[in-house]
Chain A
Amino acid sequence: MTTVISAQNLSKRFRKTEAVEDLNLEVSEGSIFGLIGPNGAGKTTTIKILMNIHKPSAGSAEVIGVDSRRLGPAEFAKIGYVSENQEMPDWMTVEYFLAYLKPFYPTWDDARANELLRQFELPLKRQLKHLSRGMKMKASLVSSLAYRPKLLVLDEPFSGLDPMVREDLAEGLVDSAGETSILVSSHDLGDIESFASHIGYIENGKMKFSEEMTSLTERFREVEVTVAPPAAATGKGQWPESWLRPDKTPAVIRFVESQFDSERTQKDIRRIFGDVVQVSVNPMPLRAIFVALARTGSKAAA
Chain B
Amino acid sequence: MAQLWHILRKDCRYLRFEFLLYALFLGCYTWTETQVVPATSFGREIFVPDTLRLLSAIGMMAVASYLIIRLIHAEAIPGDKQFWLTRPYSWKSLLGAKALLLLLGVSLPMLAVRLLIFRIQGFPLIPGLWQLLWSQLVMTVVIGLAIAALAALTAGLVQFVIPALVLISVAAFVQEDAYWVNSWPAGTLWFRETLAAAGLIAIALWALHSQYRNRNTSFARGFALSAFTFVGILYFYAPWSLAMTVNGWLTAPMTDGSSPGVVLGPELKFYPAEPGDRVNGRLPISVRGIPAGYSSELQQILVTFRGPAGVKQEWFEPGPLQTSLQGLGYRAMGAVDRSFYDAAQGKPMTIRVSVDVILFPPVQTNKIKLSEDFVNVVGGVQCRGAILRREFVEQQLRSRSGRFDGIECRSAFDWPEVRSLLTPEAPFQPLRALVPSHSPFYKGALSLLSVQTQNVFFYRGVDETTITAQGPPQWYHRDFEFRNVRFGDTMDLH
Interface residues in chain A, defined as those with a beta carbon under 8 Å from any beta carbon in chain B:
48, 51, 53-54, 72-74, 76-77, 79, 81, 83, 85-89, 91, 96, 100-101, 103-105, 140
Q: What are 19 of the A-B contact pairs (CB < 8 Å)?
A: A54-B80, A72-B88, A72-B90, A73-B88, A74-B88, A76-B89, A77-B88, A87-B79, A87-B81, A88-B83, A89-B14, A91-B14, A96-B13, A100-B6, A100-B10, A103-B6, A104-B3, A104-B87, A104-B89
Q: Quick one: given A74-B88, A77-B88, A104-B89, are A89 and B83 in contact (CB under 8 Å)?
A: yes
Q: Per DSSP, are chain A's interface residues mostly helix, strand or loop, or mixed?
A: mixed
| Contacting residues, chain B, for A51 (C-beta < 8 A) | 85-86
Interface string of B67-82 (1 = CB under 8 A from A): 0000000100001111
Q: In the complex, which residue of chain A has the Cβ closest to the Cβ of B216?
A: A55
Tally of chain B residues near chain A (CB < 8 A)? 18
Partner of B89, one of A73, A81, A87: A73
Interface string of B401-426 (1 = CB under 8 A from A): 00000000000000000000000000
Q: Quick one: given A48-B80, A86-B81, A91-B14, are A76 and B86 in contact (CB under 8 Å)?
A: yes
B2 at the interface (CB under 8 A from A): yes
A89→B13 CA distance, assembly (Å) = 12
- Do the beta carbons of B83 and A87 come within 8 Å of each other? yes
* Smallest beta-carbon distance B3→chain A, Å: 7
Q: Quick one: given A74-B88, A81-B86, A104-B89, are A53 and B3 in contact (CB under 8 Å)?
A: no
A79→B36 CA distance, assembly (Å) = 59
| Contacting residues, chain A, for B14 (C-beta < 8 A) | 89, 91
- Do the beta carbons of B10 and A76 come within 8 Å of each other? no
Interface residues in chain B, defined as those with a beta carbon under 8 Å from any beta carbon in chain A:
2-3, 6, 10, 13-14, 74, 79-83, 85-90
Other contacts beyond A73-B90, A103-B6: 20, CB < 8 A: A51-B85, A51-B86, A53-B80, A53-B86, A72-B88, A73-B88, A73-B89, A76-B87, A76-B89, A77-B88, A81-B86, A86-B81, A87-B79, A87-B83, A89-B14, A89-B74, A91-B14, A101-B87, A103-B2, A104-B3
| Contacting residues, chain A, for B2 (C-beta < 8 A) | 103
Q: In the complex, which residue of chain A has the Cβ closest to the Cβ of B93?
A: A73
* Smallest beta-carbon distance A44→chain B, Å: 9
| Contacting residues, chain A, for B86 (C-beta < 8 A) | 51, 53, 76, 79, 81
A72→B214 CA distance, assembly (Å) = 11
- Do the beta carbons of B89 and A83 come within 8 Å of each other? no
Indicate the member of B2, B74, B82, B83 with the most A CB atoms within 10 Å.
Answer: B83
A86→B85 CA distance, assembly (Å) = 10
- Do the beta carbons of A76 and B83 come within 8 Å of each other? no
- Do the beta carbons of A87 and B82 come within 8 Å of each other? yes
| Contacting residues, chain A, for B13 (C-beta < 8 A) | 96
| Contacting residues, chain B, for A73 (C-beta < 8 A) | 88-90
Q: In the complex, which residue of chain B has the Cβ closest to the Cβ of A78?
A: B88
| Contacting residues, chain B, for A101 (C-beta < 8 A) | 87
10 pairs of A and B residues whose beta carbons are closest in the complex: A73-B88, A81-B86, A76-B88, A77-B88, A87-B81, A53-B80, A104-B88, A73-B90, A88-B83, A51-B86
Q: Quick one: given A91-B14, A100-B10, are A105 and B88 in contact (CB under 8 Å)?
A: yes
| Contacting residues, chain B, for A54 (C-beta < 8 A) | 80
* Smallest beta-carbon distance B228→chain A, Å: 25
| Contacting residues, chain B, for A76 (C-beta < 8 A) | 86-89
Partner of A85, one of B3, B81, B88: B81
| Contacting residues, chain A, for B6 (C-beta < 8 A) | 100, 103-104
A81→B3 CA distance, assembly (Å) = 20
| Contacting residues, chain A, for B90 (C-beta < 8 A) | 72-73
| Contacting residues, chain A, for B80 (C-beta < 8 A) | 48, 53-54
| Contacting residues, chain A, for B89 (C-beta < 8 A) | 73, 76, 104
A105→B88 CA distance, assembly (Å) = 8
* Smallest beta-carbon distance A48→chain B, Å: 6
| Contacting residues, chain B, for A72 (C-beta < 8 A) | 88, 90
* Smallest beta-carbon distance B17→chain A, Å: 10
A96→B10 CA distance, assembly (Å) = 10
A53→B217 CA distance, assembly (Å) = 12
| Contacting residues, chain B, for A87 (C-beta < 8 A) | 79, 81-83
Q: In the complex, which residue of chain B has the Cβ closest to the Cβ of A71?
A: B86
| Contacting residues, chain A, for B10 (C-beta < 8 A) | 100
* Smallest beta-carbon distance A6→chain B, Å: 19
* Smallest beta-carbon distance A50→chain B, Å: 10
* Smallest beta-carbon distance B448→chain A, Å: 31
* Smallest beta-carbon distance B453→chain A, Å: 44
Q: In the complex, which residue of chain B has the Cβ closest to the Cβ of A75?
A: B88
Indicate the member of B3, B13, B81, B82 with the most A CB atoms within 10 Å.
Answer: B81
A87→B87 CA distance, assembly (Å) = 13
A96→B14 CA distance, assembly (Å) = 11
| Contacting residues, chain A, for B82 (C-beta < 8 A) | 86-87
Q: Quick one: given A48-B80, A91-B14, are A103 and B3 in contact (CB under 8 Å)?
A: yes
Q: In the complex, which residue of chain A has the Cβ closest to the Cβ of B80?
A: A53
| Contacting residues, chain B, for A48 (C-beta < 8 A) | 80
* Smallest beta-carbon distance B230→chain A, Å: 27
